[in-house]
Amino acid sequence: MKVVATPLPGVLVLEPDVFFDHRGYFFEAYNQEAMARLGITAEFVQDNESRSKKGVLRGLHFQVPPFAQGKLVRVVFGEVLDVAVDLRKHSPTFGRWVSQVLSEQNKFLLWIPEGFAHGFITLSDEAVFTYKCTALYHKASERTIRFDDPVLAIEWGNSHPIVAEKDLEAPLFSQTENPF
């Protein structure tokens, strides 16, 4: 597996070794020992999957401690633009974001540790998105940052995304409770 560092320390793009033959392909989407060699020693306790149509934007979501989540995300079907925002107040990249296209074709994974908000927008007609989490979902700890925050200025590539009501009503970055 090849690891590509992003401009946000801790956020990693993982490019798995994919083996193709006349039957199709095979790759390891997760291997605990291989991840540990890459410095990802997180224990995953919950797997999630979502299906979204083109233009659906989910995010920017995170959970506060003690239920903060690291996420290992990938796309099984289709294509998304995945985004992580650094919430770590003492980080030199605080308030900056990084994006990565994840697709069934490239089979990339993105590791997003605790201390980051996360979101994605579906680029293909449909996409199936999966992610492993290091903490269980805890509704009272869930927080959302407005996806179109002018200070963050995330380039989603879609000026009229399909967004859930809770994401439309989310506070701006500067108004969000942030314990990181």
Is 131 a catalytic site residue? yes
Is 22 a catalytic site residue? no
Range 10-33 burial, b when 16+ CB lie within 10 A, else e = bbbbbebeeeeeeeeeeeeeeeee
Q: Pick the catalytic residue: 131, 137, 138, 160? A: 131
What is the DSSP pairing of strand 56-63 with strand 162-163? parallel
**Residue 71 corresponds to which tokens in the numbers above?**
């996420």
3-state secondary structure of 107: coil
Q: Pick the catalytic residue: 22, 25, 30, 61? A: 61
Torsion of CA 107, 30, 77, 153, to 10 degrees: -70
Active site residues: 61, 131
